[in-house]
Structure 1
Amino acid sequence: MTNAVPRHRRRIATATTMTAVAAFVTAGVALAAPSNADSGSATLAGSTPAYATASADLGQSGTAATLSVRVYLAGQDQAGLAAFARAVSDPSSATYKHYLSAAQVQQRFGASQKQIDQVSTWLKSAGLTVAGSNTHWIDVTGTVAATQKAFGTQLHNYRTSDGTLRAPQSDAKIPAALSSVILGVTGLSQSTTHAVTNHQTDPLTAKKGPVSNNDPSCSDYYGQKKAPSTTPAVPSGYTTPATLAQCSLVPSELRQAYGVSNTGLTGKGATIAIVNWYGSPTMESDANQYAVNHGDKPFAPGQYSEVNDPSQYTNQAACGFGDYGEESLDVDMAHGLAPDAKVITVAANSCFDSDLIAAEAKIVDNHLADIVSNSWGEIMYSTGGDMTQAQMQAYDQVFMEGAAEGIAFDFSSGDCMNNDAYSISKGLNCDPTSSRAQVEWPTSSSWVTSVGGTALALNKQGGYGFEAPMGDNRSGRTAPGATSWVPAGETFGGGGGVSESIAQPWYQSWTVPNSESTTLMSGAKAAHPMRTIPDISLNGDLYFSSTLVGQTTNGAYGEAGYGGTSVSAPSWAGILADAQQAQYGIPVGFANPAIYARSFLTNDVVQNPKQISGSPTHSVVFQYPTSSGPGIAGQYRLIQYGVDEGLPASRGYDEATGVGSPNAWFLRSFGFGH
């Protein structure tokens, strides 16, 4: 278990066995290696955080304090798991889609009872108490003194920008005989790092009525309504606004724009799992109200279910207990893009990695779903403690087991562009502890689909007009009749970029240009191509094309406009459920190989899209509706959309939108050959 010092934050493979091992190690799995100092032990590389420096060392931690530690298990065949996960996901493989059952995966690749007993016996011999175990990990508790004895290191306190944190003075050690059994350990060091959701909402953007849209403050489609004469002249750097921003979109419009309506697909036969922390007590009734309000079907009996245990919830202050906007958004979008798919929400007990990994593992171990959508992520390199190798290894192991079963995982790519200093200082929805430009995790894992964001324009017929990358600049609120715009300098953009630690997976090698995959976010050149994100993108803009979401707050149901790649990820989950129906109910499984094989069928999103009128423009006016209340109703924001925030969109693959967005041809192609 992760021992965390909670802190409030803003919302967030290969053809042969040997090359499979290499790809697995490069993706974050560092197998324990024998220590030069002691041939009877092996060192867990990377178990000492970056903040544990000699200059910050405050001395020995109290030895009587009790710790909770999690030891992750490597399973019976790491290399075999990586090779099988690739083969079953690769359209060119003879075993493509020959999935295993959950029981078969655990029997073949999970830790055996003998391995669990071996590790448990060692931990107990060091004076630690086993609190629980499964085929993925063993949880233990014990004093600092016993923990130091077990892992051959001293635990010291260190001065950090986030306060005093405990960490090992040197990398942990384990018995050499267990080096092939143990994946890594967490809980020896403290961290303030935890996952944040990737959405942003403006509670004043609920602009579409329950039955029809007749709000004069927004447009039904791009270009429908001119900006009012009471708006001030645009400043330098903005093109003349051609239109009032579109009204917040609803699922029926997204289905039409992305071609789902044309195919007749509804996700029937697929099951989508939504992973977040905690769980809304009114989720099903809210989703049903939302669907009915906008002309869609509510959930049928048994179509929606939940897995949660409120008695086990922890870290509510750090994780934002009671804010169910993310769950509502995810369920509304998944159900909206695949109205006949089953949806199950799996609530983690907190926003910390130990609980999130447990939620993902629960889905895989019980095959609760075919598709798993995650609208959250975290910074990999943080001033409050970096992601550890053990955590990344544990996530990847679960993702690969899911791939072996035919389960697809997707993650939102983030809402803070490349997470550099500029993005952190200007972003609406950024984690403030990023130490350098970087991609987020788990969205940068090679075993998940990273879903980026776009700004979607509808045409007059309500179909697909164009898309721009999700990158906005916005002004402050400006009163009607003002002579100038109120500067704000805030930005909002989809996450993307190049990993500095994860090698390029095979499915990107024929699509992603080397010029992108070898240029790290620091500007340095990598010796070999690296993992780039996102893989695919859908609408997620906050002001240009916000999405309406319904939820109960303080006992009252209401709707507001949401934006972020948290909109994009569950929308993609719905699209993938539709694709599963298209191929006669066979799960798509780990989707990235299928995505890149169909990249020529997607909507290619570029930086300067050609507008309906034939001339490019880059700004719209957002007007607050009359329902916004006194002092705000009628005020304006100037929105510059499609802004290049260091991740430019271009022809073909790019780090702003991946291969682009799906459409009817993309969906229909899943039925070819079946």
Structure 2
Amino acid sequence: MTKAVPRHRKRIATATTLTAVAAFVSAGVALAAPSNADSGTTTTLAGTTPGYATASADLGATGASTQVTVRVYLAGQDAAGLEAYARAVSDPNSASYKHFLSATEVRNRFGASQAQIDAVSAWLKGAGLTVTGSNIHWVDVTGTAAAAQKAFGTQLHNFSTPQGTLRSNTSDVKIPASVSAAVLGVAGLAQSTQHAVTNHQKIDNTARGPVQNNDPSCSDYYGQKKAPSSAPAVPAGYTTPATLAQCSLVPSELRDAYGVTKTGLTGKGATIAIVNWYGSPTMEADANKYSIAHGDKPFAPGQYSEVNDPSQWTHQDLCGGGDFGEESLDVEMAHGLAPDAKVITVAANSCFDSDLLAAEANIVDNHLADIVSNSWGEIMYSTSGDIDPASMKAYDQIFKQGAVEGIAFDFSSGDCMNNDAFSVSSGLNCDPTASRAQVDWPTSSAWVTSVGGTALGLDKRGYSFEAPMADNRSGRTAPGAASWAPGGQTFGAGGGVSETIAQPWYQSWTVPHSMASTLMDGTKTTPKRTIPDISLNGDLYFSSTLVGQTDQASGTYSEGGFGGTSVSAPAWAGVLAAAQQAQWGIPVGFANPAIYARAWLTNDVVQNPRQIGSSPIHSVVFQYPASSPAAGQYRLIQYGNDEGLPASRGYDLATGVGSPTALFLRSFGFGH
């Protein structure tokens, strides 16, 4: 079972295609369920053997009585029709644009039929497996290794890997041809040790407190205060005179910077879902306390809700159970950018794909929200095995069903730059099992919005400039030291080119061909999906964002500076809620076509913004505040250097098309 880790075609469908789609929908046509009869022929699911399952690593057969849990994902009644309609309803140039279907219509027309579910269940039961649950997306089964081998036409062996002994199928999965049309993929035969990671970091041992302005250790805006003379001099080539880093930002400053305040939009009428694992028991109280402390409205009665059952939580030791900083960050940013939108936390029972997919499916099947924000991601290629292709297909199926309903999914792009060896060695959120430079999943899906990060500089009036999200920092340095303590790069916004996902139609007229057709190892290819799509502030030391939460052990509420694309993703969800309000409450739906059509209305983020002078290395001095155990110590911060992903004019792999503006938001009200 793969575990999640803590975010082309022509531009428009032809008239013939759209007519066919419309005819399909109006007729309500469904594919016939496969026959239960087994002719003895099988279909091989290519690519279902993980890379670690080699002869040299083989430790022998898995015990026949070993219990295994497997999920068989269902293809639904018309996968091709689902993709065609999802594209048509999302494309501003399509006659079917915004002709969304209800959740019931989506289930009836595109979900698996009862006949398909019954046929797949009968095959699995016939092999000796026990069906433990089923729905329009999948069938879950348990049983012995012997029964699983019979069902899936392969042997199960144990293999030696860098992460320990893992069980896997020794050859690609085979399924009866009679049910092959109903099966999307099979997950769970091969084990994986990928760990859950959310895309955020908290500034170590610091809390700015409920009021950050006038703090002597930081600047209210870029360049306001010079670094104290007790800090070492900055090296040659760094920004001089050295200035103190900005105080941690709060939602009102982000609303001002991205034009939300200027438009008067508040997200009224929209619902934002936050998906993560587990859930804080003090979330609503913390969000209300945080909002009031910073001049914003708390949640009104019924404005915040949760889908969360702690009795069903599993794998808390592996998934970081009890650390609710991510949920606090997500909820407070979504509410802060769209203070009148409803917010619902949909807490997965673990950080495994099976539970995360269940959370996403629940939102789509019951239309719980218009916008879904996810601040987590998964390494696609690791030494413990590549991500399960069946899970990838299942995610995409849910995202397309959401698009048909008018639901937008966004994911943070990650905090490990391009995930190369340098990124991994820098630590923090980077997965040491990453085997090569790569983009994360699901943020690289063609059916979600990948939200990158920036470093946001303010002036007295508000927005001043943005640079890519990345920090090089010195070590902690005591006052009076002669030089800065050694340090290194901490993190940077994720981005890059997918190895396998074809370039989606909406990117073909904006992303440079040479960029999309060059993989991260330099190999030339046909154009591929690139990320991110859009970006917002997420930097850690230059422009951190203040977050409040209650420590569950002590019961103490405190606030501290956070950074990462986990800040960017829920903030974007708030902006999208404002865009929905701008077009009279009609959901934006899958947002990428609308984003790329409006690329010229965004802030174009470049490597070296002119507003900060000509110094080749842009820097600030971070001083730990009086509330920190490291009070008075300093770090020298070089910001805007996203290793391996330089920003440039137009679309780039560091920041996508740029960041939103008031004009970008107002444009959603045009023509409606």
Q: TM-score range by the shorter chain?
A: over 0.9
Aligned residue in 1 for 2:250: 250
Using the TM superposition, give the Cα deviation of residue 518 of structure 1 relative to its aligned residue in structure 2, in angstroms: 0.7
- Quick one: which amino acid aligns to residue 658 of structure 1? G
Using the TM superposition, give the Cα deviation of residue 644 of structure 1 relative to its aligned residue in structure 2, in angstroms: 4.1
Q: Does 1:177 align with 2:175?
A: no
Q: Contact 1:266/1:338 (CA < 8 Å) preserved in 2?
A: yes
Q: How far apart, in 2, do the equivalents of 1:663 and 1:478 lie?
A: 38
Using the TM superposition, give the Cα deviation of residue 492 of structure 1 relative to its aligned residue in structure 2, in angstroms: 1.5
**Once the two structures are superposed, what CA deviation does each residue of 1:559-612 show, in whole Å capped at 9, x if it has no partner?**
000000000000000000000000000000000000000000000000000125
Using the TM superposition, give the Cα deviation of residue 233 of structure 1 relative to its aligned residue in structure 2, in angstroms: 1.9
**Once the two structures are superposed, what CA deviation does each residue of 1:617-668 show, in whole Å capped at 9, x if it has no partner?**
6000000011113xx1110000001114110000000000000000100000
Q: Contact 1:17/1:83 (CA < 8 Å) preserved in 2?
A: no
Using the TM superposition, give the Cα deviation of residue 235 of structure 1 relative to its aligned residue in structure 2, in angstroms: 3.0
Q: Contact 2:200/2:326 (CA < 8 Å) preserved in 1?
A: yes
Q: How far apart, in 2, do the equivalents of 1:195 and 1:481 lie?
A: 41
Q: How far apart, in 1, do the equivalents of 2:433 and 2:612 lie?
A: 41
Q: For the structure 1 residues 390 and 601, does the alpha-carbon distance in structure 2 shift closer, same or farther, using more than 3 Å as the test?
A: same
Using the TM superposition, give the Cα deviation of residue 242 of structure 1 relative to its aligned residue in structure 2, in angstroms: 3.3
Q: How far apart, in 2, do the equivalents of 1:359 and 1:50 lie?
A: 29
Using the TM superposition, give the Cα deviation of residue 193 of structure 1 relative to its aligned residue in structure 2, in angstroms: 1.6
Q: How far apart, in 1, do the equivalents of 2:439 and 2:540 lie?
A: 21
- Quick one: which amino acid aligns to residue 608 of structure 2? N
Q: Does 1:84 align with 2:85?
A: yes
Q: For the structure 1 residues 211 and 563, does the alpha-carbon distance in structure 2 shift closer, same or farther, using more than 3 Å as the test?
A: closer
- Quick one: which amino acid aligns to residue 438 of structure 2? Q
Q: Contact 1:129/1:140 (CA < 8 Å) preserved in 2?
A: yes
Q: Percent identity?
A: 77
Aligned residue in 2 for 1:637: 635
Aligned residue in 2 for 1:563: 563
Q: Contact 1:455/1:540 (CA < 8 Å) preserved in 2?
A: yes
**Once the two structures are superposed, what CA deviation does each residue of 1:10-42 show, in whole Å capped at 9, x if it has no partner?**
x5976269999xxxxxxxxxxxxxxxxx97100
Aligned residue in 2 for 1:27: none
Report the 3-state secondary structure (helix = DSSP H, G, I; strand = E; otherwise coil) of the residue aligned with 2:600.
helix
Q: Contact 1:71/1:182 (CA < 8 Å) preserved in 2?
A: yes
Aligned residue in 2 for 1:136: 137
Aligned residue in 2 for 1:294: 294
Q: How far apart, in 2, do the equivalents of 1:431 and 1:103 lie?
A: 39
Aligned residue in 2 for 1:426: 426
Q: Contact 1:193/1:386 (CA < 8 Å) preserved in 2?
A: no
Aligned residue in 1 for 2:282: 282
Aligned residue in 1 for 2:23: none
Q: Contact 2:492/2:643 (CA < 8 Å) preserved in 1?
A: yes
Q: Does 1:70 align with 2:79?
A: no
Q: How far apart, in 1, do the equivalents of 2:238 and 2:384 lie?
A: 38
Report the 3-state secondary structure (helix = DSSP H, G, I; strand = E; otherwise coil) of the residue aligned with 1:261.
helix
Q: For the structure 1 residues 241 and 145, does the alpha-carbon distance in structure 2 shift closer, same or farther, using more than 3 Å as the test?
A: farther
Q: Does 1:540 align with 2:524?
A: no
Q: How far apart, in 2, do the equivalents of 1:222 and 1:69 lie?
A: 54
Q: For the structure 1 residues 494 and 19, does the alpha-carbon distance in structure 2 shift closer, same or farther, using more than 3 Å as the test?
A: farther
Q: How far apart, in 2, do the equivalents of 1:319 and 1:534 lie?
A: 26
Q: Contact 1:611/1:617 (CA < 8 Å) preserved in 2?
A: no
Which residues of structure 1 form unaligned runs of 5+? 21-37
**CA-atom RMSD in angstroms:** 1.7
Q: Contact 1:195/1:353 (CA < 8 Å) preserved in 2?
A: no
- Quick one: which amino acid aligns to residue 104 of structure 1? E
- Quick one: which amino acid aligns to residue 501 of structure 1? T
**Once the two structures are superposed, what CA deviation does each residue of 1:374-426 show, in whole Å capped at 9, x if it has no partner?**
00001000112211110100000000000000000000000010000011001
Q: How far apart, in 1, do the equivalents of 2:265 and 2:642 lie?
A: 35
Q: Does 1:105 align with 2:106?
A: yes
Q: Contact 2:468/2:493 (CA < 8 Å) preserved in 1?
A: yes
**Once the two structures are superposed, what CA deviation does each residue of 1:205-255 show, in whole Å capped at 9, x if it has no partner?**
322x43461210000000100111111122355343531000000000000
Aligned residue in 1 for 2:61: 60
Q: For the structure 1 residues 152 and 416, does the alpha-carbon distance in structure 2 shift closer, same or farther, using more than 3 Å as the test?
A: same
Q: How far apart, in 1, do the equivalents of 2:477 and 2:221 lie?
A: 23
- Quick one: which amino acid aligns to residue 310 of structure 1? P
Q: How far apart, in 1, do the equivalents of 2:458 and 2:573 lie?
A: 21
Aligned residue in 1 for 2:645: 647
Q: How far apart, in 2, do the equivalents of 1:313 and 1:140 lie?
A: 19
Q: How far apart, in 2, do the equivalents of 1:537 and 1:54 lie?
A: 44
Using the TM superposition, give the Cα deviation of residue 194 of structure 1 relative to its aligned residue in structure 2, in angstroms: 4.1
Q: How far apart, in 2, do the equivalents of 1:17 and 1:671 lie?
A: 26
**Once the two structures are superposed, what CA deviation does each residue of 1:101-130 show, in whole Å capped at 9, x if it has no partner?**
000000000000000000001111100110
Using the TM superposition, give the Cα deviation of residue 45 of structure 1 relative to its aligned residue in structure 2, in angstroms: 1.3
Deviates more, 1:378-387 or 1:187-196: 187-196
Aligned residue in 1 for 2:410: 410
Deviates more, 1:612-621 or 1:587-596: 612-621
Q: Contact 1:241/1:620 (CA < 8 Å) preserved in 2?
A: no
Q: List aligned pairs for 1:5-24, cutoff 5 A.
A: 15=13
Deviates more, 1:53-62 or 1:300-309: 53-62
Report the 3-state secondary structure (helix = DSSP H, G, I; strand = E; otherwise coil) of the residue aligned with 2:206.
coil
Q: Contact 1:218/1:246 (CA < 8 Å) preserved in 2?
A: yes
Q: How far apart, in 2, do the equivalents of 1:355 and 1:410 lie?
A: 18
Deviates more, 1:189-198 or 1:243-252: 189-198
Report the 3-state secondary structure (helix = DSSP H, G, I; strand = E; otherwise coil) of the residue aligned with 2:596.
helix
- Quick one: which amino acid aligns to residue 407 of structure 2? I
Q: How far apart, in 2, do the equivalents of 1:659 and 1:257 lie?
A: 17
Report the 3-state secondary structure (helix = DSSP H, G, I; strand = E; otherwise coil) of the residue aligned with 1:191.
coil
Q: Contact 1:42/1:174 (CA < 8 Å) preserved in 2?
A: yes
**Once the two structures are superposed, what CA deviation does each residue of 1:162-202 show, in whole Å capped at 9, x if it has no partner?**
00100001001001111110000111010012441000002
Q: How far apart, in 2, do the equivalents of 1:341 and 1:649 lie?
A: 33
Using the TM superposition, give the Cα deviation of residue 46 of structure 1 relative to its aligned residue in structure 2, in angstroms: 1.5
Which residues of structure 2 form unaligned runs of 5+? 19-38
- Quick one: which amino acid aligns to residue 148 of structure 1? Q
Aligned residue in 2 for 1:25: none
Aligned residue in 1 for 2:516: 517
**Once the two structures are superposed, what CA deviation does each residue of 1:41-78 show, in whole Å capped at 9, x if it has no partner?**
00111211110011111110001011111000000000
Using the TM superposition, give the Cα deviation of residue 614 of structure 1 relative to its aligned residue in structure 2, in angstroms: 7.6
Q: How far apart, in 1, do the equivalents of 2:191 and 2:16 lie?
A: 35
Report the 3-state secondary structure (helix = DSSP H, G, I; strand = E; otherwise coil) of the residue aligned with 1:180.
helix
Q: List aligned pairs for 1:150-189, cutoff 5 A.
A: 150-189=151-190
Report the 3-state secondary structure (helix = DSSP H, G, I; strand = E; otherwise coil) of the residue aligned with 1:346.
strand
- Quick one: which amino acid aligns to residue 517 of structure 1? A
**Once the two structures are superposed, what CA deviation does each residue of 1:299-329 show, in whole Å capped at 9, x if it has no partner?**
0000000001111100000000000000000
Q: Does 1:313 align with 2:313?
A: yes
Q: Contact 1:415/1:565 (CA < 8 Å) preserved in 2?
A: yes
Q: List aligned pairs for 1:446-525, cutoff 5 A.
A: 446-461=446-461, 463-525=462-524
- Quick one: which amino acid aligns to residue 138 of structure 2? W
Q: Does 1:126 align with 2:127?
A: yes
Q: Contact 1:444/1:450 (CA < 8 Å) preserved in 2?
A: yes
Q: How far apart, in 2, do the equivalents of 1:68 and 1:248 lie?
A: 46
Q: Contact 1:18/1:79 (CA < 8 Å) preserved in 2?
A: no
Q: Contact 2:291/2:298 (CA < 8 Å) preserved in 1?
A: yes
Report the 3-state secondary structure (helix = DSSP H, G, I; strand = E; otherwise coil) of the residue aligned with 1:491.
strand
Using the TM superposition, give the Cα deviation of residue 431 of structure 1 relative to its aligned residue in structure 2, in angstroms: 1.3
Aligned residue pairs, count: 647
Using the TM superposition, give the Cα deviation of residue 490 of structure 1 relative to its aligned residue in structure 2, in angstroms: 3.0
- Quick one: which amino acid aligns to residue 622 of structure 1? F
Report the 3-state secondary structure (helix = DSSP H, G, I; strand = E; otherwise coil) of the residue aligned with 1:72.
strand
- Quick one: which amino acid aligns to residue 93 of structure 2? S
Q: How far apart, in 1, do the equivalents of 2:481 and 2:392 lie?
A: 52
Report the 3-state secondary structure (helix = DSSP H, G, I; strand = E; otherwise coil) of the residue aligned with 2:658.
coil
Q: For the structure 1 residues 235 and 505, does the alpha-carbon distance in structure 2 shift closer, same or farther, using more than 3 Å as the test?
A: same
- Quick one: which amino acid aligns to residue 395 of structure 2? Y
Question: TM (normalized to structure 1)?
Answer: 0.94
Aligned residue in 1 for 2:581: 581
Q: How far apart, in 1, do the equivalents of 2:420 and 2:14 lie?
A: 38
Q: Contact 1:17/1:79 (CA < 8 Å) preserved in 2?
A: no
- Quick one: which amino acid aligns to residue 395 of structure 1? Y
Q: Contact 2:619/2:636 (CA < 8 Å) preserved in 1?
A: yes
Q: How far apart, in 1, do the equivalents of 2:212 and 2:637 lie?
A: 25
Report the 3-state secondary structure (helix = DSSP H, G, I; strand = E; otherwise coil) of the residue aligned with 2:409.
strand
Q: How far apart, in 1, do the equivalents of 2:571 and 2:616 lie?
A: 27
Q: How far apart, in 1, do the equivalents of 2:365 and 2:167 lie?
A: 33
Q: For the structure 1 residues 656 and 559, does the alpha-carbon distance in structure 2 shift closer, same or farther, using more than 3 Å as the test?
A: same
